[in-house]
Amino acid sequence: MKHLIDPTDLSKQEIDQIIALAEDIIAHRERYQGSMAHKKLATLFYEPSTRTRLSFTAAMMELGGQVLGFSTPQSSSAAKGESVQDTVRVVGCFADIIAMRHPIEGAPLVASEVSRVPIINAGDGSHSHPTQTLTDLLTIKRELGHIDDITIGFCGDLRFGRTVHSLIKALSRYHGIKVVLIAPDELRLPDYIKQDVCEKMGVEYRETDSLDDAIPELDVLYMTRVQKERFLDEDEFDRVKDSFVLDARRMSLAKEKMAVLHPLPRVNEILTEVDEDPRAAYFRQVENGKLVRMALIISLMEWKNDPAHKMPEHEAPIINPALHCTNAKCICNNEKHQPRFRLAENGITRCWYCDSKVR
The runs of H, that is alpha helices, within 68-106 are 84-91
Is 263 a binding residue for ligand NCD by CB under 6 A? The answer is yes
Q: Is 264 in the site for ligand NCD (CB under 6 A)?
A: yes
- 57, 71, 132, 334: which one binds ligand NCD (CB under 6 A): 132
For the bound state, the minimum distance from the C-beta of residue 162 to ligand NCD, rounded and expressed in Å, comes to 5
**Would you count residue 7 as binding ligand NCD (CB under 6 A)?**
no
Does position 288 interact with ligand NCD (CB under 6 A)? The reply is no
Whether omega for the bond prior to residue 265 falls within 30 degrees of 0, making it cis, is: yes
Burial class for 168, CB neighbours closer than 10 Å (0-12, 13-18, 19+)? buried
- Comparing CB distances to ligand NCD, the nearer of 118 and 123 is 123
State in angstroms the smallest separation of the CB of 254 from ligand NCD: 22
Contact of 102 with 96, CB cutoff 8 Å: no
Size, binding site for ligand NCD by CB under 6 A: 11
Q: Does 325 bind ligand NCD (CB under 6 A)?
A: no
With respect to ligand NCD, which residue has the nearer C-beta, 133 or 172?
133
Closest distance to ligand NCD from the beta carbon of 51 (Å): 4
Which is nearer to ligand NCD, 2 or 225 (by Cβ)? 225
d(CA 223, CA 282): 10
Contacts of 90 (CB under 8 A, 6+ apart): none
Q: Using CB under 6 A, which of 2, 102, 127, 129 touches ligand NCD?
A: 129
| Side chain identity, residue 103 | P
Rounded to a whole number of angstroms, the minimum distance from the CB of residue 3 to ligand NCD is 18
Nearer to ligand NCD by Cβ, of 179 and 264: the residue is 264
Residue 322 CA, chain-centre distance (Å), reads: 32
Contact between 162 and ligand NCD (CB under 6 A)? yes
Residue 329 is a binding residue for ligand NCD (CB under 6 A): no
Q: Kindly state the helix (H) or strand (E) to which residue 124 belongs, with its residue range.
A: strand 119-124
Shortest Cβ distance from residue 349 to ligand NCD (Å)?
A: 27
Asked if 190 is part of the footprint of ligand NCD (rule: CB under 6 A), the reply reads no
Q: Is the dihedral of CA 81, 103, 22, 168 positive or negative?
A: negative
Q: Are 33 and 7 in contact (CB under 8 A)?
A: no
Cβ neighbors of 225 (< 8 A, separation 6 or more) are 156, 157, 161, 262, 265, 266, 267, 269
Residue with smaller CB distance to ligand NCD, 62 or 269? 269
Interacting residue with ligand NCD among 108, 123, 153, 190 (CB under 6 A): 123
Using alpha carbons, select from 343, 310, 339, 345 the residue that is nearest to residue 327: 339
**Strands of 151-155's sheet in order across:** 204-208, 178-182, 151-155, 220-223, 259-261
CB of 323 to ligand NCD, least distance (A): 29
Query: Within 196-225, which residues bind ligand NCD (CB under 6 A)?
Result: 225
51 near ligand NCD, judged by CB under 6 A: yes
For residue 163, state whether it binds ligand NCD (rule: CB under 6 A). Answer: yes
Q: Which is nearer to ligand NCD, 160 or 341 (CB)?
A: 160
Separation of CA 233 from chain center: 24
Closer CB to ligand NCD, residue 162 or residue 169? 162
Under the criterion CB under 6 A, does residue 52 sit at the interface with ligand NCD? yes
The distance from CA 220 to its chain's CA centroid, rounded to whole angstroms, is 17
Phi, then psi, of 95 in degrees rounded to 5: -125, 160
Residues at the contact surface with ligand NCD, assessed by CB under 6 A = 51-52, 123, 129, 132, 162-163, 225, 227, 263-264
